Amino acid sequence: MRIIGDDIPVWGDPIDPEAIKQIMNCRRTADWAAMMADHHKGYAVPIGGVVAYRDSISPSGVGYDIACGNKAVLTDAYLPDVKKHIEQIMDDIYSNISFGIGQKNNTIVEHELFDSETWKHRAVSGLKEMARHQLGTVGSGNHYVDIFEDENDNVWVGVHFGSRGLGHKTATFFLDAGGAKDEMDAMPLVIPATSPLGEDYLECMKLAGQYAYAGRDWVCKTVAEDILGANILSEVHNHHNFAWRESHWGEDMWVVRKGATPAFPGQLGFVGGSMGDISVILEGIGGEESNYSLNSTVHGAGRVMSRTQAAGKMNYKTRTRSGGQVTKEMMMDWVNREGVTLRGADTDESPQAYKRLPEVLTHHSSSVNILHVLKPLGVAMAGGEVVDPYKD
């Protein structure tokens, strides 16, 4: 950990100068700010940023993908059988789970969240049917469904995605209503938490959080029970784009985490790597650095290349990219070397575009313990034909 400016703790090496500029902007609006080791540039607030306010809330800090997060479930699937049938398993995942922008689930998922009074709010009143059809879809970008083995030959299912179109359209409504500038380096939008706009945002944010949890629950259950034919023994589930009312330094604050995992002492978290790298189940252990991070840790490995740098510039007419630093052959050499069965994906999400998760985690070793190391057997993501226009 190092201190940037007067009082901003930052983890990681190397430090991203563009992310530093953003977190310093955030600190001017906030009572506390910190940045995790997987940080990189985001919209107004860097990915990996933790920003806290006594009496305010920041829709920019939560970001467009409200309640994006991870869930991992431990199953009783028999590892030799899973390895033997991994090609068919990944085919089944890719044909039964919907990946991509604006996709609908082939199954309408019933859930009590659709009875919430919050749907009457003008920010979300027209989004209910879209949300109902999208519940249980995974999206694109770095969102995935993975099959893992751990160090004890156990089989896990892991997923990473958020609140889909509901979250993006909700965030857009409040950013527009608050007068936020649509620029990467804009100052973050900060509004009083007890103002009408702030209270409405928090209510709709919580609805998007329930929606994201329900979607990840459904995907994990479908893959574990219907595709693997296994039982779920335990689970680890957490948002990493969200705001919580918490007590730190003897004060109650709204803690906004954007690409940062809550890691209070004893709290479990699932942190994913890239398609050709390990993921982990970790536990917060507290300590001085945990206090400085407001009990937060990384949410992933963190990018070292933007999507355009990795895959090249998109030609929207031909749906092809050119000028990227990573070729399809480079990507497949990596995942084949690691023994990963891949479905979908493109070079913008190649392992070469990311830091290595074990190295990133060493920067937070004084505040988290690694409980399980998860090696990917199969990875499913949206294919290269899908264009994801969202920055975070």
pLDDT, mean of residues 266-273: 98
Residue 171: helix, strand or coil by DSSP?
helix
Query: Which pLDDT value is given to residue 313?
Result: 86
Cβ neighbours of residue 53 closer than 8 Å, sequence gap 6 or more:
29, 30, 31, 190, 193, 253, 254, 256
Query: Which pLDDT value is given to residue 179?
Result: 97
Query: Which pLDDT value is given to residue 266?
Result: 98
For 163, the enclosing helix (H) or strand (E) is none
**Bridge partners for 261 per DSSP:** 297
Query: Which pLDDT value is given to residue 384?
Result: 75
Q: Which residue has the higher pLDDT, 389 or 322?
A: 322
Using pLDDT thresholds of 50, 70 and 90, give the confidence band for residue 386. low
Using pLDDT thresholds of 50, 70 and 90, give the confidence band for residue 143. very high
Measure Cα distances from 295 to 53, 286, 381 in Å: 15, 7, 30
- Share above pLDDT 70 across residues of the chain, in percent, rounded to a whole number: 97
Q: Check pLDDT > 80 for residue 280.
A: yes
| Structure confidence by residue, pLDDT tens digits, 177-205 | 999 998 999 999 999 999 999 999 999 99
Q: Check pLDDT > 80 for residue 126.
A: yes
Phi then psi for residue 343, to 5 deg, are -125, 130
Query: Which pLDDT value is given to residue 391?
Result: 32
pTM listed for this prediction: 0.95
Pull the structure tokens for residue 296: 């937060």
Using pLDDT thresholds of 50, 70 and 90, give the confidence band for residue 389. very low
**Cα–Cα dist 53/190, whole Å:** 9
Q: Check pLDDT > 50 for residue 390.
A: no
Question: If you average pLDDT over every residue of the chain, what do you get?
Answer: 95
Q: Check pLDDT > 60 for residue 392.
A: no
Query: Which pLDDT value is given to residue 318?
Result: 73
Among the ranges given (118-127, 316-325, 380-389), the one the predictor scored with the smallest mean pLDDT: 380-389
pLDDT, mean of residues 210-224: 98
Using pLDDT thresholds of 50, 70 and 90, give the confidence band for residue 272. very high
**Cα–Cα dist 141/164, whole Å:** 12
Using pLDDT thresholds of 50, 70 and 90, give the confidence band for residue 338. very high
Asked: is 2-383 a CATH 3.40.50.720 domain? The reply is no
Query: Which pLDDT value is given to residue 385?
Result: 67
pLDDT, mean of residues 160-175: 98
Using pLDDT thresholds of 50, 70 and 90, give the confidence band for residue 40. very high
| Structure confidence by residue, pLDDT tens digits, 63-101 | 999 999 999 999 999 999 999 999 999 999 999 999 998
Neighbour tally for 140: CB within 10 Å: 26
DSSP 8-state class, residue 3: E
Instruction: List the chain domain ranges.
Output: 2-383
Residue type, 201: Y
Q: Check pLDDT > 60 for residue 124.
A: yes
Pull the structure tokens for residue 367: 């505040």
Q: Check pLDDT > 80 for residue 308.
A: yes
Pull the structure tokens for residue 49: 């940023």
Q: Check pLDDT > 60 for residue 261.
A: yes
Terminal Cα-to-Cα distance of the chain (whole angstroms) = 25
Q: Check pLDDT > 80 for residue 9.
A: yes
Using pLDDT thresholds of 50, 70 and 90, give the confidence band for residue 244. very high
**Bridge partners for 71 per DSSP:** 159, 237
